Amino acid sequence: MLKPLILFFALALPMGCAVQSQSGSNTSNIEVAFSPEGGSEALILKVIGAARRSVRIAAYSFTSPAVVRSLMDAKRRGVDVKVLVDDRGNRSQSSIAAMSLLAGAEIPLRVISAYAIHHDKYIVVDERHVQTGSFNYSRAAANTNSENVIAIWDNPAIAVKYLDHWENRWEQGRTFDQKY
C-alpha cells in the first residue's frame, strides 16, 4: 500500500522535486516535472545525460532538436542508443529531419505501424532508470502543451518491465529509411 501513496505524493509535488521511496531492498528516487511551465525537457535531457551503457527510447512524436542532440551526444560517449517511433505520427518534415540526423549518426532507429498509434513515450537508461509520462519528444511538448514527466531513478525492477515492452515493440518495427 505504501508504493501507491509514495507515487501519489511524488506526482503532487511541484516540478523538479524529488521523492525517495523504499520497497524492500530497492530504493528509488522519483523526479517529476511539467510543461509548459518548464522543467519537463530538462528532466528528459538529464535522464539521457545519465546514460553510461544504453538508452532505449519509445516515442509517438519525435521532433525535439534538444532530444536529438542529447541522443547523439550519448552515442558519442559510447552509449548504445536505439530509438523506436510511431510510423504515421512521424511523417512531417521536422520528424523526418530529426530521424535522419539520428540515422546519419548511426543510431539504430525503427518505425512501428503495427498499432493504430504507437503512443508510448518513455526512455530506459542503463537498465536501471525510466523516464515516462505524457511528454512527446517535440518542441510543442516543451513549450506549449500541458505535459508531465516522471523519472524513476535506480529501479531495475521497473526498468526491466519497460525494457521488455520496448524490445517487443522493437521487434515489430522496421528500420527507418533515411531521407537525407
Q: Between 40-49 and 65-76, two packed helices, what is the crossing angle to 10 degrees?
A: 10
> Which set of grid coordinates corresponds to residue 126?
542503463
CB burial readout 92-128, b (16+ within 10 A) else e: eeebbebbbbbbeeebebbbbeeeeebebbbbbbbeb
Is 129 among the catalytic positions? no
Exactly one of 73, 80, 87, 126 is catalytic; name it. 126
CB burial readout 143-169, b (16+ within 10 A) else e: eebebebbbbbebeebbeebbeebeeb
Is 126 among the catalytic positions? yes
Exactly one of 46, 82, 118, 121 is catalytic; name it. 121
Is 177 among the catalytic positions? no
Residues recognised as catalytic: 119, 121, 126
